[in-house]
Amino acid sequence: MQFDPFIIPFEIGIYSIILYAVARSVIWFRDLSRQDKLRLQRGFFGRSFGKSIREIFMESLIHRKILKANPRLGYMHMSLAFGWFLLILFGTIEADIFGEKHLNPPYRAIFFKFFNPDHGRTGFEAAWSFLMDFLLAFILSGLILAIIKRIYSRVVGMKRTTKLKPLDKVALISLWTIFPSRLLAESFTSGAYGTGSFLTGSLGSWLASFLPANEMAYPFWWLYSLSLGTFFVLLPLTRYMHIPTELFLIFARNSGITTGDKAGAFTEMQIYSCSSCGICIDACQLNFSNGITTIQSAYLLKGIRNGTDVKDIAFNCLMCGRCDYKCPVGIELTPIRMIQRRAGEVNKAGKGLWKKYFPDKPAVKLPKTNGRHTYNFLPPIPSAKTEVLYFAGCMTHLTPAIRNSMVRILDASGVKYKFIDENGGVCCGRPLMLAGQDKEARELINFNSKLILKSGAQVLVTSCPICYKVFRESYYLNIEVLHHSQFIKRLIDDGTLKLNFLRKRVVYHTPCDLGRGSGVYQEPRDVLSYVSQLQKTDVDDGNSLCCGGSLGNMKISYHQKHKIATDAAAALTKDHPDILATSCPLCKKTLAAATETKVADIAEIVAEAIYAPSGIKPEPGSQSTTLHSQRPLSRV
Amino acid sequence: MDKFGFSILKGRHIDYDSNDRSVADYISSKEPSFNVCIECGCCTATCTTGNFTSFSLRELQILLKRGENDKVHDVISKCMLCGKCTLVCPRGVNTRNVITLAREAFKLKIKNAV
């Protein structure tokens, strides 16, 4: 018996999904930019190939990251993905060894029991049947968890799970039907023939004791084939598209392709790689501090996939990057959100079935440029040569203590520097970028770039992580950009800055744009542990919380921001430190309003610790070429 | 009143009945904190753009509420959205959103959509 009509739905499903995956991969590859195509080719035939295969095994099958973060949820994902993979693998081997011939079509492995009902009575065959039963039991255990999770998500350690669209539900039900129907189909067949191992065999003989097993088996084989076929055909329209896409994404990422600031094939791949697992929802502070559960990255990506209007979702976000950090697939969620914020970026809703399978690329309608400058009032640029530039930034001007401390530190270290925005400068442009207004931001960037380049400086020091991030990423300056914590670290290492040790217990709050945004974790910690007693918290480094003051979110109210700040401050000051240190003027201002503990910037703590031999007072401005010889800022 | 020689100077007349308050209404419907402003001027005092020009958010929001939209339309694009005003506002007005919504409203107004 080589063929039976019930395999037709499965056959349609499997071949259509294989063809679809190939077609989609070709489209994505075609849409990549020239450089990215080269990168992918080099990556695919190069050393990163092994790395990609390893990552596919560890992340797509074992789900190591989810297992580490949440063992129960990880087990659920692992049992379904890895279990299914092993079931197919060992099923194929089984069909190859025990079947009539080698190299069988896929359906022979999937419906092996139907075509070989007598198989698995003795010896090696029985051992193999045991293995297959064990794998099926492994998957079913995960499936039970998945079903309970839909009803009560706390079972797998998740506070919330994603809401699904109708088509996702149909696909979900067909996915859930696959394994129970296989179990029943195999059990009935085993019951009729007296074969099968501990699971199908026992269940089969029990069912056969009161049911006509031979007649009952056939409908369940149909159900098994139908559910597989339905799942495969619907897969491209649902979140399950992440299964094939993620493989492509891993290769692309390991080849060195990044999101950048433009929408493109890589962004699309990432959007389809999201499995809506919901880990980003639990990570989001808007969720656990404000109870907002409709704007998280899983919903943003879902909205983009479905071609709905995501403007409200895109703008209602702190852009803190916690979801990027926690995403088990490693999708660059914040850059994708930035692209969505940009004016003129429109998602077209796909009309018709064909468009749903092969969606259009997002249309970019760039705003008309009329050649008029928005900021034509900016002052002329002076030219004065110096080595080190200090750019305080808007927020630092709101917190004069940080500015004055930095001036004291720079003066005490004897560095030749110039304070470029001493009397209030021009904004760095990132707030405009966060509001999606890149054209306007570019004007400010051009102005500041000219200002910096004219000075001929080699090092640019800034006190604000917001400025730091945009200077590094969007300015294209051939100059070293340092955050003041990095600069102070360098001064300490050089021996130019002599500091006392302060007997204070300090906790450090990592600002989003400095930590997750720019990857600066170590230098601020080094500086703080050099001058004080630095304590650990539960929310260190990558896991740090947003202070709530973020310029990324324009939608939430002052009270919601304050709630986020209060929660963050409470988590940081759990062990009652003397000082809550941070390295961002915006964080300082927001957190200071939300806690009783003293909040101070690293610069303030360092300035307090400056070692000054008694009797000798450093003359303000004597070592700098700035205006402060006339107006010493340290006394302001 | 006119009989007694009292009349309103046309130049100083703010007619709340006939003025076009559509932009202000659009903003306050989407950002309710726009209504709680006490016109203290902290935003203007700290403004980055105000450092270079006479741009004043306090003035702009009074003008919007009076319905004198043309004056606002000319200068509203000067804001750099740096967010200092939001941080200093004693009433917790989400000023960045107010400005963004005002710009949005003017764009919609061209299409007669407000």
CA A359 to chain centre: 24
Q: Are residues A431 and A326 in the same domain?
A: no
CATH code of A438's domain: 3.40.50
Q: Is residue A218 part of a domain?
A: yes
Q: Is residue A264 part of a domain?
A: no
- Produce one character per residue of A437-474: b if its CB has 16 or more CB atoms within 10 Å, e if not: bbebbebbbebbbebbeebebebbbbbbbbbbbbbbeb
List of chain A residues whose C-beta atoms are within 8 Å of the C-beta of residue B84: 394-395, 397-398
User: Encoding tokens for residue B40?
Assistant: 């203290």
A175-194 mean pLDDT:
93
Q: Are residues A623 and A602 in the same domain?
A: no
Q: Is residue A593 part of a domain?
A: yes
Number of compact structural domains in chain A? 4
Q: Is residue B73 part of a domain?
A: yes
Between A309 and A543, the higher pLDDT residue: A543
Give the range among A98-107, A124-133, A171-180, A479-488 with minimum mean pLDDT: A98-107
Q: Evaluate whether A107 touches A41 at the Cβ level (below 8 Å).
A: no
User: Encoding tokens for residue A88?
Assistant: 């197919």
A340-369 mean pLDDT:
70
Size of interface A-B (CB pairs under 8 A): 73
Whether B84 sits inside 8 A of A558 (CB atoms) is no
A445-453 mean pLDDT:
92
Window A:451-490, CB contacts with B under 8 Å: none
Q: Percent of chain B having pLDDT more than 90?
A: 62
Whether A427 sits inside 8 A of B80 (CB atoms) is yes
CATH code of B59's domain: 1.10.1060.10
Q: Is residue A371 part of a domain?
A: no
Number of compact structural domains in chain B? 1
Q: Are residues A166 and A226 in the same domain?
A: yes
Average pLDDT, chain A: 88
- How high is the pLDDT of residue A362? 67
Q: Is residue A47 part of a domain?
A: yes
Q: Are residues A207 and A311 in the same domain?
A: no
List of chain B residues whose C-beta atoms are within 8 Å of the C-beta of residue A559: 92
- How high is the pLDDT of residue A446? 92
Give per-residue pLDDT as tens, A598-607: 999 999 999 9
- Tell whether the model's pLDDT for residue A343 goes beyond 80: no
A356-381 mean pLDDT:
73
pTM of the model: 0.88
pLDDT band at A368 (very low <50, low <70, confident <90, very high): low
All residues at 6 or more sequence positions from A75 whose CB lies less than 8 Å from its CB, including other chains: A67, A142, A145
Distance from CA of B67 to the nearest CA of A (A): 23
- How high is the pLDDT of residue B67? 87
Q: Is residue B80 part of a domain?
A: yes
Give per-residue pLDDT as tens, A45-55: 888 899 999 99
Q: Are residues A298 and A202 in the same domain?
A: no
Which residue range forms the structural domain that includes residue A578?
Answer: 505-609
Q: Are residues A34 and A152 in the same domain?
A: yes
Give the range among A44-53, A312-321, A523-532, A560-569 with minimum mean pLDDT: A44-53
Interface test with A, best of B31, B47, B49, B87 (most A CBs within 10 A): B87
Q: Are residues A526 and A630 in the same domain?
A: no
DSSP structural state of residue A610: B
Q: Are residues A590 and A628 in the same domain?
A: no
The full DSSP string for A174-235 is: HHHHHHHHHHHHHHHHHHHHT---TTHHHHHHHHHTTS-HHHHHHHHHHHHHHHHHHHHHHG
Q: Are residues A627 and A542 in the same domain?
A: no
User: Encoding tokens for residue A519?
Assistant: 């990857």
Q: Is residue B90 part of a domain?
A: yes
Q: Which of B80, B83, B97 sits opposite A555 (nearest CB)?
A: B97
Q: Which of A254, A264, A233 is nearest to A16 (CA)?
A: A233
ipTM here? 0.89
pLDDT band at A634 (very low <50, low <70, confident <90, very high): very low
Whether A424 sits inside 8 A of B51 (CB atoms) is yes
User: Encoding tokens for residue A421?
Assistant: 């925005």
Q: Percent of chain A having pLDDT more than 90?
A: 62
Q: Is residue A298 part of a domain?
A: yes
A461-482 mean pLDDT:
93
Which residue range forms the structural domain that includes residue B54?
Answer: 27-110
Q: Is residue A447 part of a domain?
A: yes
Q: Is residue A260 part of a domain?
A: no
- Tell whether the model's pLDDT for residue A583 goes beyond 80: yes
Cα distance between residue B43 and residue A32, in whole Å: 45
A410-421 mean pLDDT:
90
Q: Is residue B92 part of a domain?
A: yes
Q: Evaluate whether A388 touches A457 at the Cβ level (below 8 Å).
A: yes
A489-494 mean pLDDT:
93
Q: Are residues A78 and A156 in the same domain?
A: yes
- How high is the pLDDT of residue B43? 95
- How high is the pLDDT of residue A364? 65
- How high is the pLDDT of residue B83? 92
- Tell whether the model's pLDDT for residue A635 goes beyond 80: no
